[in-house]
Structure 1
Amino acid sequence: MITVPSGRVTLSDRRTRRSWAVDVAAFRLAACPVTREQYQDAAGDRRPAHSVSWLDAVRHCNELSRREGLAAAYAVDGEEVSWDRAADGYRLPTEAEWEYACRAGADGPRYGPLDEIAWYRGNSGERPHPVGGLRPNVLGLYDLLGNVWEWCWDHYDPEVYGSYRVLRGGGWFDEHWSCRASVRRRSHPTLRIDDVGFRLARSIVG
């Protein structure tokens, strides 16, 4: 996993025309999205895991933490999930962490020319590709844009969308305008969608 230093990021939402600044503590983020090999024991399959619900991703984080002797980040009761921020186990990134890591200090919408960094509709052949095959950002993080959308911890807009959670990054079937650091998408935490996966994060505690 890659250590992402602390800093600040400004998030924005085109729907509400709102922007807000968030301070981000140092944390660790996986260099690539979780693969089918890692998630489904599909030996040698380095394509990103997909059709993973937010709840599936949360449970996978806890299971992986238990396997490695780490404190589980989440308490899960049906569809209710709480996050123990003092836990050292695997978790989903917040959307502020995700965007901050994606930008890696860059001001523009992408960390490089799109065809060099992301699998999207213009170059993917409308299918996912093995992770880590294109150019990373300056932190060494791959596939933050394109290939699959990635679940984040946060609710999208609870007052309007209830329990819907945030997705970031764009996917293999998306047009170029969806593959930008600032783009926010939403989905219900129980839904499994064929262009949605996730990436692991860990807090730096102690």
Structure 2
Amino acid sequence: MIAVPAGQVTLSDRRTRRTWSVEVASCLLGAHPVTRDLYTRVMGPLPDATGADRLPVEGVSWWDAVRFCDTLSVRAGLTPVYDLRGDAAETVAPDPSADGYRLPTEAEWEHACRAGTEGPRYGPLDDIAWYRANSGERLREVGGKLPNAWGLYDMLGNVWEWCWDLYDPEVYGTYRVLRGGGWYDEHWSCRASVRRRSHPTFRVDDVGFRLARTAR
């Protein structure tokens, strides 16, 4: 886990042309997306998954990701962040006092991705990300490209990452935010500000997630 300093980030949505600023508290964020190795050691084998253990886990839904966070928290002797006794989104409201693993908010994600930079990316895209032009149109092992200034790898490209937030509940209901772009995306999708959305049960081969913890 990498310590991410507090700061302010301005989020934007291309669809609605809306921008909004968020104060971000310090937090801890995984140095790279959760790997297949870690996921299977915690949750058991993935159906139909083949390939190296250092590949990012993909084909996991938002629900899979929050269940993983709570299961890993219990195994680590930490207090789970989410209440997963029900199957409705409103039962998963995070406990702010818990010290366990969780998904990052999208403000935390973008603040961490930018790492103090202001442009669309924290470096030349071919140096920092796997995307359609250089991935060979396949998933790649984590950490194969340069990290950002705060030591975070694969913030752009390789797999899209689930965030905690609802995308736009008035229009899209329970759809959750995805960030970062993936191995099959064109360069314009691999930017710090790009937002994507999907249903929390959605699973596909270019979507994974990254762990976060609240700093204490």
Residue 100 of structure 2 is aligned to residue 98 of structure 1? no
State the 1:79 CA deviation.
3.0
Runs (5+) with no aligned partner, structure 1: none
Residue 79 of structure 2 is aligned to residue 79 of structure 1? no
Q: Which moved more, 1:44-53 or 1:114-123?
A: 44-53
Alignment-mate amino acid for residue 53 of structure 2: D
Matching residue of 1:162: 173
Alignment-mate amino acid for residue 79 of structure 1: A
Runs of 4+ in 1 over 4 A off after TM superposition: none
Matching residue of 1:4: 4
Counterparts of 1:85 and 1:7 in 2: how far apart (Å)?
19
Matching residue of 1:58: 66
1:35–1:131 contact (8 Å) kept in structure 2: yes
The one of 148, 151, 156 aligned to 2:159? 148
Counterparts of 2:93 and 2:15 in 1: how far apart (Å)?
27
Matching residue of 2:139: 128
- The Cα RMSD (Å) is 1.1
Aligned partner of residue 63 in structure 1, secondary structure: helix
Deviations 1:142-165 (A, max 9, x none): 000000000000000000000000
Q: Aligned residues, how many?
A: 205
1:71–1:87 contact (8 Å) kept in structure 2: yes
Alpha carbons of structure 1 residues 44 and 121: separation in structure 2 relative to 1, 3 Å: closer
State the 1:191 CA deviation.
1.1
Residue 77 of structure 2 is aligned to residue 69 of structure 1? yes
1:55–1:79 contact (8 Å) kept in structure 2: no
Runs (5+) with no aligned partner, structure 2: 46-50
Counterparts of 2:96 and 2:136 in 1: how far apart (Å)?
40
Aligned partner of residue 73 in structure 1, secondary structure: coil
* Higher percent of residues as strand: 1
Deviations 1:118-172 (A, max 9, x none): 0000000010100011100000000000000000000000000000000000000
